[in-house]
Amino acid sequence: MRFSVVIEKDEDGYYVAYVPELPGCHTQAKTLDELLERVKEAIELYLEVEGSSVEMGRELVSIQFIEVGVSELKTRSSR
C-alpha cells in the first residue's frame, strides 16, 4: 500500500509527519531519517489496529504555498 506523508518542521526544530489518508496517524522525530522510520512504523501499527481495509478515498494531489500580505488581513478583519 502507498500513502502520502506530509512533513512539517515545528518551532522546536522537530520534524512532524502525518498521513492524510489515515486520520490520527502521525509522529515526530529530531531527524528526517528517524522520522521516516517512525512514520512507517506508525502506518504499520495503524493498519494493524484498524485493519488493512482502510478506505483509500483520498489522494494527496498537491501542496501549495500562498503568500498573503499582512495589510490585506488587517483590511478584511476591520470590515
Which of 7, 22, 27 lies closest to 58 in space, CA to CA?
22
Other C-beta atoms closer than 10 Å to the C-beta of 35 total 19
The residue extents of the domains of the chain are 6-77
Q: What is the pLDDT of residue 72?
A: 60
| pTM (global) more than 0.75 | no
Give the CA distances from residue 36 to residues 7, 22, 73, in Å, rounded to whole numbers and listed in that order.
Answer: 10, 16, 36
DSSP for residue 24: T
Place of cell 526544530: 13
| Residue scoring higher pLDDT (76 or 68) | 68
pLDDT tens digits for range 20-59: 889 899 999 999 999 999 999 999 999 999 887 676 667 7
Q: What is the pLDDT of residue 75?
A: 58
Selected from 1.10.10.350, 3.90.950.10, 1.10.1740.110, 3.30.160.250, the CATH number assigned to the domain covering 6-77 reads 3.30.160.250
What is the DSSP annotation of 60-73?
----------HHHH
Statement: residue 16 has pLDDT above 70:
yes
Residue 38 Rama label (left phi>0; alpha psi -120 to 50; beta): alpha
Q: What is the pLDDT of residue 78?
A: 58
Q: What is the pLDDT of residue 62?
A: 86
